[in-house]
């Protein structure tokens, strides 16, 4: 049987999030350069956000198991939470919880996408649409479903990953395969989403809550 409670935290604000938000605010194209998605770190504000989330979680019964995306921003978020939560167990790193692979579109903000690939920009939120060389949200959900199947033997599990992963969790754990539609469910940085087991399955108790 799976856990009695699943707590999913999105990573804190990353340096890429900062650049993308600045581009959105100013209406300019942003293209990330250097390194890859797996190496993007938290911003200073993101580390503070993660610590606040840790303090919030510290007021509850501690998780007895943890799992984290291998990406740097997720691991740094875990470390910041662990600095606030006593007796948090070492996490298991699971590559299936990595962020959505955007393929040829990686590193482009919304303005850059509209300028360089307007057809792709219009379809990016579609559940089954796979950008060139990348993944659809359905692809992410398939690997998240597989990872969930291995979360056994623990009462409370803390999972730290990405917005696409947490959207996929909501889809996989909903009774009817709920989908976000044209406007994806918002998953703020360092937000907490929770599922609690009732009547034999995990049911959504909170989604995208920010401390």
Residue appearing with tokens 């809550």: 209
Identify which of 156, 179, 13, 174 has the alpha carbon closest to the alpha carbon of residue 89.
Answer: 156
Q: What is the sign, positive or negative, of the torsion defined by CA atoms of 14, 18, 23, 29? A: negative
Which residues sit in the known binding site?
10-17, 73
Which residues sit in the known binding site for substrate?
10-17, 73
Residue appearing with tokens 């057809």: 119
Q: Does an H or E element contain 47, and which?
A: helix 44-58
Q: What is the sign, positive or negative, of the torsion defined by CA atoms of 204, 183, 176, 130? A: negative
């Amino acid at each position: 049987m799976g856990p009695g409670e699943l707590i999913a935290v999105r990573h804190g604000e990353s340096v890429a999030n900062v650049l993308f938000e600045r581009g959105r605010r100013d209406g300019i194209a942003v293209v990330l350069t250097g390194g890859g998605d797996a190496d993007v770190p938290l911003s200073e504000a993101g580390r503070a956000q993660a610590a606040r989330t840790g303090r919030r979680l510290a007021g509850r019964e501690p998780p007895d198991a943890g799992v984290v995306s291998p990406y740097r921003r997720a691991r740094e978020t875990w470390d910041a939470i662990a600095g606030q939560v006593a007796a948090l167990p070492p996490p298991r790193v699971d590559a299936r919880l990595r962020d959505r692979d955007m393929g040829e579109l990686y590193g482009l903000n919304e303005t850059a996408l509209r300028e360089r690939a307007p057809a792709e920009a219009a379809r990016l939120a579609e559940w089954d649409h796979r950008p060139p060389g990348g993944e659809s949200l359905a692809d992410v959900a398939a690997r998240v479903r597989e990872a969930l199947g291995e979360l056994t033997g623990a009462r409370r599990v803390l999972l730290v990953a990405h917005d696409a992963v947490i959207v996929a969790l909501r889809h996989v754990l909903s009774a009817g395969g709920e989908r976000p539609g044209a406007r994806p469910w918002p998953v703020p940085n360092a937000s907490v989403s929770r599922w609690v087991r009732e009547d034999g399955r995990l049911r959504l108790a909170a989604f995208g809550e920010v401390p």
